[in-house]
A and B are shown apart, each in its own frame.
Chain A
Amino acid sequence: MSRVEYADVSKRFPTQDRAAVDRLTLDVADGEFLVLLGPSGCGKTTALRMLAGLEHPDRGDILIDGASVIRLEPKDRDVALVFQSYALYPHMSVRDNIQYPLRVRQLSAAERGRKVERVAELLGIVNLLPRRPAQLSGGEQQRVALARAIVREPRVFLMDEPLSNLDAKLRTHTRTELKALQQQLGVTTIFVTHDQAEAMTMSDRIAVLERASRWRVARAHRRLAPRRAARGRRRRRPQGRAAA
């Protein structure tokens, strides 16, 4: 479990006129499930990728457990990211996909096997272990991607719209499962989505990003204040750390 902090983080891509993320300040507590909610292009995925180390912020700092991680390579940050497209390695079996991060950490074959079996049982995918990703449905691929993230027991889970490729029924079912799983594991989780229902049902708190420089944070069970009132509050309050 870990605490994550974005401290005044900004990012602008060379090909874009305006910043993708502008002065984002955000605290995510130990074991919390925070959802980044916002429309396409508002910078929520960029914020997630900066924490993963796949993008480098132009200014500001990102801290995990109080230590800055922005100079660390993705491999040294100990965070797991579930991609929107799942990013399963197509040339490996499901078993090899799940045990890949364990092989990287040079765990013995017996220990790898034990961990893979345990996480496969947890997610109900034991029967899928010998298959290739191309032989799986969207829902099954999503479970395998989750298993690969879980098996290495990272400090932080990052999820980039992992339910967007599922049909409506499966998505509703998976939301409940995912939330229960996060509570069981107690790992700090940041979940990106543009689906308000998803955000409300899964999160402990929601950070709403309307565009790069405009964001609000609220507890999930409260209704977010109407936009105009929120703007007024922001004007009165100096720029600084936002927390519910």
Chain B
Amino acid sequence: MTTRAASRVTRTAAAPRGASWIEALAVHVVFVLVAVFFLVPFLWLFTAAFDANAEAYIRFPAQPTLNNFVRIFTEHDFGRALANSVFVAGATMLLDVVAVALAGYSLSRLEWRFKSWITYAVLLLQTMPLSATMVPIYGLARALGLRNSYLGLILIHAAIELPFLIWLMKGFFDNVPRYLEEAAWLDGRSKLRALAEVVLPVARNGIGVVAGLSFLAAWAEVLMMIILIDTQDLKTVPLAFYEALRTRGGYTEVQYGIVAAMGVLYAVPVMAIFLATRRMMVRGLIATSRGL
């Protein structure tokens, strides 16, 4: 190749590279702006939690202290709230995973009358705003003696998320090839054992996503906690927050350091779980749109 030809090739190659450089810069600027927007609340949370005189705006503590964390455990009984939240969210997650695996498999694989009607009815339930069902749920919980009980909280939290999670899991099961379970049947397994030993392990990313979303939803849910719980023993983290915001003469004298310390302990376990299972969660969420 002559020198002139070589330089021509270099120029043609350089032109799109220039354009892509501008594109990359624009994309990165947008990414940084979005990241800043979402990270600012966390910055406030982590600065205020270690500040003895925290305010409603970001300021770096002059003398970082753990006093706020000590106070939430000694004065606000946050340990019990944290344990209650872990228990309720964990039990909700287990119940949801079992129910969703069976219901999703049924809708994906089994043939029965009115299946398509019920499939869409499940989706219709998801469109119902939670606040619209608040009064009947309260009445039902009171009639069944499920107010101020762990069982009530777990059942209702599991039920709230079920329609969406069933549809999600149905999608995962739809992507598991049928011949895998057929092979397990021919190898001598019943349908239920084939589901447990072959289909569920293959759809484990889906189970991971369902478990993660279910735990997060129950962990963060506030409305049902407020209407179903009014004893200190069953108080969960969202209720502890709510009470911390109301201390000393309503919202005018909020102890921001206390609220921020609770916020840190509220957010960190969830972030830790997500980081530990991030590969499974990301693979699962990608699989929902692309197939397994």
* Alpha-carbon separation in the docked complex, A88 to B187 (Å): 12
Chain A residues near B187: list those with CB within 8 A.
75, 100-101, 104, 148, 152
* Alpha-carbon separation in the docked complex, A75 to B179 (Å): 14
Chain B residues near A104: list those with CB within 8 A.
187-189
- Kindly identify, within residues 81 to 135 of chain A, every residue whose CB is under 8 Å from any CB belonging to chain B: 81, 83, 85, 87, 89-91, 100-101, 104-105
- Kindly identify, within residues 70 to 84 of chain A, every residue whose CB is under 8 Å from any CB belonging to chain B: 73-75, 77, 79-81, 83
| Inter-subunit contact B182/A87 (CB<8 Å) | yes
| Inter-subunit contact B182/A54 (CB<8 Å) | yes
- Kindly identify, within residues 172 to 203 of chain B, every residue whose CB is under 8 Å from any CB belonging to chain A: 177, 179-180, 182-190, 198, 201-202
Q: Does residue A146 face the partner (Cβ distance < 8 Å to B)? A: no
| Inter-subunit contact A101/B179 (CB<8 Å) | no
User: Would you give the shortest CB distance from B116 to chain A, in whole angstroms?
Assistant: 13
User: Would you give the shortest CB distance from B183 to chain A, in whole angstroms?
Assistant: 4
| Inter-subunit contact B186/A89 (CB<8 Å) | no
| Inter-subunit contact B189/A87 (CB<8 Å) | no
Q: B186 touches which one: A81, A85, A91, A105 (CB < 8 A)?
A: A81
CB-based nearest B residue for A160: B179
CB-based nearest A residue for B198: A89
Q: Does residue A52 face the partner (Cβ distance < 8 Å to B)? A: yes
Chain B residues near A80: list those with CB within 8 A.
186
Chain B residues near A81: list those with CB within 8 A.
182-183, 186
* Alpha-carbon separation in the docked complex, A100 to B177 (Å): 18
Q: A91 touches which one: B177, B179, B201 (CB < 8 A)?
A: B201
Q: A85-B177, A87-B182, A87-B183 are in contact. Are A75 and B189 (CB under 8 A)?
A: yes
CB-based nearest A residue for B185: A74
Q: What sequence of 0s and 1s flags, for each residue 43-75 of chain B, a beta carbon within 8 Å of any chain A beta carbon? A: 000000000000000000000000000000000
* Alpha-carbon separation in the docked complex, A105 to B202 (Å): 22
| Inter-subunit contact B180/A89 (CB<8 Å) | yes
* Alpha-carbon separation in the docked complex, A89 to B194 (Å): 11
Number of A-B contacts (CB under 8 A): 56
Chain B residues near A74: list those with CB within 8 A.
182, 185-186
- Kindly identify, within residues 48 to 78 of chain A, every residue whose CB is under 8 Å from any CB belonging to chain B: 52-54, 73-75, 77
CB-based nearest B residue for A52: B186
Interface size on A, residues (CB 8 A): 22
Chain A residues near B186: list those with CB within 8 A.
52-54, 74-75, 77, 79-81
CB-based nearest B residue for A81: B186
Q: B177 touches which one: A87, A101, A152 (CB < 8 A)?
A: A87
Q: A75 touches which one: B180, B185, B204 (CB < 8 A)?
A: B185
Q: A89-B198, A90-B202, A91-B201 are in contact. Are A83 and B189 (CB under 8 A)?
A: no
Q: A85-B177, A85-B179 are in contact. Are A91 and B202 (CB under 8 A)?
A: yes
| Inter-subunit contact A105/B198 (CB<8 Å) | no
User: Would you give the shortest CB distance from A69 to chain B, in whole angstroms?
Assistant: 13
User: Would you give the shortest CB distance from B111 to chain A, in whole angstroms?
Assistant: 9
* Alpha-carbon separation in the docked complex, A53 to B177 (Å): 18
Q: What sequence of 0s and 1s flags, for each residue 17-55 of chain A, a beta carbon within 8 Å of any chain B beta carbon? A: 000000000000000000000000000000000001110
Chain A residues near B184: list those with CB within 8 A.
89, 100
Chain B residues near A77: list those with CB within 8 A.
186
Chain B residues near A152: list those with CB within 8 A.
187-188
* Alpha-carbon separation in the docked complex, A152 to B190 (Å): 17
CB-based nearest A residue for B201: A91
Chain A residues near B188: list those with CB within 8 A.
75, 101, 104-105, 152
| Inter-subunit contact B198/A75 (CB<8 Å) | no
* Alpha-carbon separation in the docked complex, A83 to B178 (Å): 11
User: Would you give the shortest CB distance from B46 to chain A, in whole angstroms?
Assistant: 40
* Alpha-carbon separation in the docked complex, A81 to B181 (Å): 12
* Alpha-carbon separation in the docked complex, A189 to B188 (Å): 19
Task: Give the interface centre of B179, B188, B202, B204 by most chain A CB atoms within 10 Å.
Answer: B188
User: Would you give the shortest CB distance from A94 to chain B, in whole angstroms?
Assistant: 14
User: Would you give the shortest CB distance from A43 to chain B, in whole angstroms?
Assistant: 18
| Inter-subunit contact A87/B180 (CB<8 Å) | yes
* Alpha-carbon separation in the docked complex, A53 to B188 (Å): 12
Task: Give the interface centre of B182, B187, B201, B204 by most chain A CB atoms within 10 Å.
Answer: B187
Chain B residues near A105: list those with CB within 8 A.
188
CB-based nearest B residue for A148: B187
> Which of A's residues lie within 8 Å of B, judged by CB?
52-54, 73-75, 77, 79-81, 83, 85, 87, 89-91, 100-101, 104-105, 148, 152
Q: A75-B187, A89-B180, A90-B180 are in contact. List 17 more A-B contacts (CB 8 A).
A: A52-B182, A54-B185, A74-B182, A74-B186, A79-B186, A81-B183, A87-B177, A87-B180, A87-B183, A89-B183, A89-B184, A89-B202, A100-B187, A101-B187, A105-B188, A152-B187, A152-B188
Q: Which 5 A-B pairs have the closest CB atoms?
A: A104-B188, A87-B183, A101-B187, A74-B185, A87-B179
Question: What are 6 A-B residue pairs whose CB atoms fall within 8 Å in the complex?
Answer: A54-B185, A73-B185, A75-B188, A79-B186, A83-B179, A89-B198
